[in-house]
Amino acid sequence: METVWLNPRERSVLPDPVVSDTEVGRVEAFYRSRPKLKPTPLHRIRGVAEELALGEVLLKDESNRFGLNAFKILGVLYAFHRIMEARSSGGTPIVACASAGNHGRAVARAAREFGFAAKVYLPAGTVPARVEDITGEGADVVVTDFGYEGSVRQVARDAEREGWLIVSDTSWPGYNEVPRWIMAGYTWMLAEAQAQWAPLPVPDAVIIQGGVGGLVCAGASWFAQRYGANRPFFIAAEPTAAPCLLESARIGRPAVVQEQDTMMTCLRCAEISPVIWPVLTHAVDAVVTVDDERAAWAMRRLARPSAGDPEVVAGASGACGLGALQAIMCHDAFRSVRDRASLGPRSSILVVNTEGATDPALYRSVVGD
């Protein structure tokens, strides 16, 4: 069942931003030094805004980020840069990670660029297209017998035994630094968006989807540090089938949930990344869970635009945020979020399409040829 959590805390200074302003500054310097890496578009989707009785809907489209069809490369490239800064001279290591697909492809691409070999562990049942995308970047792929969390634990064990360097976007006790660098890298997307939405004012609300919560943490921290008490109302969205953010927020500590099948496979996570906890509890204003049908609506809506809107290719996980917006504006189960955020005909909302058609067969089945 689709569910809502509203943060009972009064807005205050973020005690631990997780992604510091200093680190964000380093990210901006890194990406400004790479002018060939072009920004992704920020679309004003007026037809959707009119349909949902909103003033403005802005969509940051990450379906073609640096030649890959997901945003993950932003965090991974920056993490490799920081790893190289911190690394002593020596032989070329093997880097390894577990992934539902997009992070693994980004690690494979960055490893090739920085001269590393890469091993990517994928959950059981990963679709062949995602395996082929990663092997096409030059990485060795291991499809495990486990889900995502089990794959994370297996690669951690194997890396410790073999001496591999883990580049993970989720954290665990004793492993926090690289996930923080990855989350810091994600903030470049928001720096781009800030420059692109001008001269419009900062959006009234932001919706970002979460798996383990890395992008949610990066986004909520970035807005909280820049805008303080005047920051946008920040909403995290995730599948009803994998509500680890909502359950963690609800019970007041990181939770483990029993995830179920969902077409939003890149958001199918049973546990949050523990390092995000301070931001989830202090800078996220609401968490909503949405069913697959919401993502399907958003995929079709973006593929068949109206009112002169651009056509956008959004995978199921990429469409989660827009699907959540439609639910919030149109369905009584989400009225509490709509009211708390004061969303209406003069409101502007920022959503992110985090991936393109990373599962082409699924995309065709939802959208059509």
According to DSSP, the β-strands at 286-290 and 165-166 are unpaired
Mean pLDDT score of the chain, rounded to an integer? 96
Looking at the chain, the whole-number percentage of residues with pLDDT higher than 90 is 94
Architecture in CATH for domain 73-168: 3-Layer(aba) Sandwich (3.40)
Structure tokens at 368: 């059509």
Crossing angle (nearest 10°) for helices 214-227 and 177-197: 60
Closest CA to 180 of 114, 112, 86, 105: 86
Whether the bond into 199 is cis, omega within 30 of 0 = yes
Strand bridging mode 4-6 / 286-290: antiparallel
Give the residue-averaged pLDDT of 31-43: 95
Helix (H) or strand (E) holding 128, with range, is helix 128-135
What fold does the segment set 4-70+185-367 form as a domain?
A: Rossmann fold (3.40.50)
Q: What would the pLDDT profile of 241-292 be if each residue is shown by its tens digit? A: 999 999 999 999 999 999 899 999 999 999 999 999 999 999 999 999 999 9
Residues of the chain with CATH 3.40.50.1100: 4-70+185-367, 73-168
| Tokens at 155, concatenated | 């690669």
Q: Say whether the peptide bond before residue 173 is cis (omega within 30 degrees of 0).
A: no
Instruction: Name the pLDDT band for 90 (thresholds 50, 70, 90).
Output: low
Q: What is the pLDDT of residue 66?
A: 96
Separation between Cα atoms, residue 127 and residue 362, nearest integer Å? 10
Report the predicted TM-score, pTM, of the whole model to 2 decimal places.
0.97
Q: Note the pLDDT of residue 307.
A: 82
